[in-house]
Amino acid sequence: MKKILKNKLVLITMAATIFFSTTAFKNDFFEIAKQIEIFTTLFKELNMNYVDETNPGDLMDTAIKSMLADLDPYTNFMNEQDVEAARINNTGDYTGIGAKVKTFKDKLVIVEPYKDYPADKAGLKAGDEIIKVGNTNIEDYKENSGDLLKGTPGSKVEVTYKRQGKIATATIERAEVEIKAVPHFSMVNNKTGYIVLSKFNNKAYKETNYALRDLKAQGAEHIILDLRGNPGGLLNEAIKIVNLFVPKGQLVVTTKSKVKKYNKTYYTQGEPIDTEIPLVVLIDGNSASASEIVSGSLQDLDRAVIVGSRSFGKGLVQRPKPLTYGTQVKITISRYYTPSGRCIQSLDYWNRNNKGEAVRVKQENYNEFKTKNGRKVFDGGGVFPDVVFNSSKNSTITNAILNNNLIFNFATEYYYNNNIEDINGLKLNDNDFSTFKNFLKTNNFSFETETETALYKAFETATKEELNDNIENDFNTLIKNLNRSKEDVITENKTFLLELLTEEIIKRYVYREGLYEYYKIHDQKIKKATEILNNQSTYNSHLK
Residue 197 lies in a domain: yes
Are both 404 and 384 inside the same structural domain? no
Calculate the CA 325 to chain-centre distance. Answer: 28
User: So what's the pLDDT on residue 8?
Assistant: 47
Model confidence band, residue 26 (pLDDT cutoffs 50, 70, 90): low
pLDDT tens digits, one per residue of 414-444: 999 999 989 999 999 999 999 999 999 999 8
Q: What is the DSSP string of 478-497?
A: HHHHHHHHHHHHHHHTHHHH
CB-CB neighbours of 514 under 10 Å? 17
Task: Please tell me whether residues 416 and 467 are part of one structural domain.
Answer: yes
Domain shared by 141 and 219, yes or no: no
The reported pLDDT for the residue numbered 213 is: 98
Shared domain for 379 and 409, answered yes or no, is no
Check if the beta carbon of residue 200 is closer than 8 Å to that of residue 230.
yes
Does residue 268 contact residue 250 with C-beta atoms inside 8 Å? yes
Is the per-residue pLDDT at 90 higher than 80? no
Mean pLDDT of 86-100: 79
pLDDT of residue 168: 97
Report the CATH number that the domain containing residue 359 is assigned in CATH: 3.90.226.10
**In which domain, by residue range, is 172 found?**
93-178
Residues 341 and 416 in one domain: no
5 — pLDDT class (breaks 50, 70, 90): very low
Same domain, 248 and 375: yes
Provide the pLDDT confidence category of residue 127 given band limits of 50, 70 and 90: very high
Is residue 423 one of the residues assigned to a domain?
Answer: yes
Residue 267 is assigned to a structural domain of this protein: yes
Single residue among 137, 160, 178 that ends a domain in this structure: 178
Confidence of residue 32 (pLDDT cuts 50, 70, 90): confident
**81 falls within a domain:** no
Tell me the per-residue pLDDT of 506-521, one tens digit each, with 9 for 90 and over.
999 999 999 999 999 9
Mean of the pLDDT values across residues 312-337?
A: 90
Percent of the chain with pLDDT over 90: 59
Cα–Cα distance measured from residue 65 to residue 59, given in angstroms and rounded to the nearest whole number:
10
| The predicted structure's pLDDT at residue 522 | 95
Mean pLDDT of 350-364: 78
Q: Are 54 and 46 in contact (CB under 8 A)?
A: yes
pLDDT score of 501: 97
Query: Is 321 a member of any domain?
Result: yes
CA 54 to chain centre: 35
- Residue 368 within a domain: yes
Residues in the chain: 544
- Distances from the Cα of 205 to the Cαs of 40, 130, 177, 209, in angstroms? 46, 36, 19, 6
Residue 394 pLDDT class (50, 70, 90 cuts): low
Residue 256 sits in the same domain as residue 342: yes
| Number of folded domains that form the chain | 3
Whether residues 247 and 381 share a domain: the answer is: yes
pLDDT tens-digit series, residues 130-148? 999 999 999 998 888 888 9
User: Among the three residues 137, 155, 178, which one is the final residue of a domain in this structure?
Assistant: 178
Structure confidence at residue 4 as a pLDDT band (50, 70, 90): very low
Q: What pLDDT sits at residue 451?
A: 74
Question: What confidence score (pLDDT) does residue 269 get?
Answer: 97
Q: What is the mean pLDDT of the chain?
A: 88
Residue 84 lies in a domain: no
pLDDT band at 488 (very low <50, low <70, confident <90, very high): confident
Higher pLDDT: 449 or 383? It is 383
pLDDT tens sequence across 270-287: 999 999 999 999 999 999
For the annotated catalytic residues, the residue numbers are 289, 300, 314
Q: Is 41 within a domain? A: no
Give the pLDDT score at 142: 82
97: CATH: 2.30.42.10
Give me the DSSP letters along 173-237. Answer: E-EEEE--SS-EEEESSSSEEEEE---BSTTHHHHHHHHHHHHHHTT-SEEEEE-TT---B-HHH
Mean pLDDT along residues 280-297: 96
Same domain, 322 and 421: no
| pLDDT higher at 296 or 33 | 296
- What average pLDDT score do residues 351-379 get? 86
Per-residue pLDDT at 20 = 46
Which pLDDT does position 94 carry in this prediction?
75
Confidence of residue 14 (pLDDT cuts 50, 70, 90): very low
How far apart, in whole angstroms, are the C-alpha atoms of residue 70 and residue 426? 47
State how far the alpha carbon of 270 is from the alpha carbons of 209, 245, 325, 517, in Å.
12, 11, 39, 32
List, for residues 184-229, the tens digit of each pLDDT value. 999 999 999 999 999 999 999 999 999 999 999 999 999 999 999 9
Residue 10 clears pLDDT 70, i.e. is over it: no
Domain stops at, among 121, 146, 178: 178
Residue at 183: amino acid letter: P
Q: Are 330 and 351 in the same domain?
A: yes
Q: Are 318 and 433 in a shared domain? A: no
Cα separation values, 277 from 51, 272, 273, 402, 458, Å: 71, 11, 9, 38, 61
Q: Which of 24-38, 158-172, 188-202 has the lowest mean pLDDT?
A: 24-38
pLDDT of residue 416: 97
In this predicted model, what pLDDT tens digit does every residue of 446-469 receive, in sequence order? 777 677 777 778 777 777 777 666
d(CA 56, CA 7): 11
- Chain segment 223-242, per-residue pLDDT in tens: 999 999 999 999 999 999 99
On whether both 359 and 469 belong to a single domain, the answer is: no
pLDDT at 6 over 50: no
Residues 116, 96: Cα–Cα separation, whole Å = 13
Q: What is the pTM of this model?
A: 0.85
